[in-house]
Amino acid sequence: MNVIIVSGSLGSGKTIALNGYQVSGLLAALSLAVALLVTGAQSVVGRLGGGPAAFDGHSAAPGEDGQAVLRESIDMMATRLGEMQARLLRLDTLGERLARTAGFKPQEFMFDQAPGRGGAVPTITGGRGTGPAAAPGPDAAIPRELSVGELGQKLDLLARQVDDRAERLGVIESIVTMDFARRTFVPSAFPVTAGQFSSNFGWRIDPFSGRNAFHEGVDFFAEPGTPIVAAASGVVTAAEFHPQYGKMVEIDHGKDLVTRYAHASLLHVRVGDVVRRGHRIADVGSTGRSTGPHLHFEVRHRGLAQNPNRFLRPAG
């Protein structure tokens, strides 16, 4: 799949080639980014709840002015946190929808769970040996509290990153959805729930005349009454008895592509019905010009018979 992304954040168009594994990798990266977002937001709230010293590492001057500034900062951060939570919910929903469309189970990506993370382990920079059990040396990095301004900057950066990821995933979802719809209207599903090939597409000896004749479809031998299903979604354009085809159904799948199901014993649809891929449309029979119970299946493009084997693929 080729995805072309154009956005203000990118500055120019970019083409990305995606397959199923890359889509799964993208979703996994999204789940990790979302988890980091939640953890960061929780950290912000935790620091804000710790008092003025949590902002810049210094004790604020007592008095009403200090409390007012603190309350204003907390309110501002709470508002930003609410915005980030709303964006997180939209990303979770988009990720689950994209996972389903791509054929994955949303639970495989655990959108509602944060991934396991480890903390920094200090090591010795001088003295004997190194290792997690050793005390930090004089050059070791000393953790410090973040100021209100730094927290705000990090939230702004994170918000821009989330918006950018959402935009990219929205474009990819549109492409995947269109590709899924295109495949839904291509007759690739087997038209009988149980049966086997009994005659192929092409030249063969006609069972009635004994002469060489062109067979414009494929035959599936099946027991009478076996369900016949739509090979793809579409609109029923014929549901009638034909002298040669017997009881038959034709479905228009758009773009001049039509499928035909012949020799049925019973029809379950009427002209104008909208059917989905796999919908039961008839039962196997032996009506019309037939030597026994079977389904005659044709695929036609612009009125010309096509080899159905080019479209059909095994289930799964």
One-character DSSP codes across 125-151 = SSSS--STTSPP-TTSPPP-PPPHHHH
pLDDT at 54: 42
pLDDT tens track for 87-102? 777 777 777 777 776 6
Phi-psi region of 195 (alpha: psi -120 to 50; beta: other; left: phi over 0): left
Of 7-21, 50-64, 68-82, 166-180, the range with the lowest mean pLDDT is 50-64
d(CA 281, CA 276): 10
pLDDT at 209: 81
Of 107-116, 259-268, 274-283, 289-298, the range with the lowest mean pLDDT is 107-116
pLDDT at 104 over 90: no
Residue whose pair of structure tokens reads 């079977």 in the numeric block: 294
> Which residues are bridge partners to 257 per DSSP?
301
Of 169-173, 178-182, 219-223, 289-293, the range with the lowest mean pLDDT is 178-182
Q: Please name the residue ranges forming H helices in the chain.
A: 20-48, 53-56, 64-101, 148-184
Phi, psi of 44 (to 5 degrees): -60, -45
Task: Give this prediction's pTM.
Answer: 0.49
More confident residue, 4 or 73: 73
pLDDT at 75: 74
Each domain of the chain, given as residue ranges in start order, spans: 2-116+145-184, 196-309
C-beta separation of 298 from 259 below 8 A: yes
pLDDT at 110 over 50: yes
pLDDT tens track for 149-158? 777 777 777 7
Say which amino acid occupies 13: G
pLDDT band of residue 59 (cuts 50, 70, 90) is very low
pLDDT tens track for 206-265? 888 888 889 999 999 999 999 999 999 999 999 999 999 999 999 999 889 999 999 999
Question: According to the CATH classification, is domain 196-309 in 2.70.70.10?
Answer: yes
Percent of the chain whose pLDDT exceeds 90: 30
pLDDT tens track for 14-37? 555 555 556 666 666 666 665 666
- Computed over every residue of the chain, the mean pLDDT equals 74
Residue whose pair of structure tokens reads 């054929």 in the numeric block: 103
Residue count (the chain): 316
C-beta separation of 232 from 281 below 8 A: no
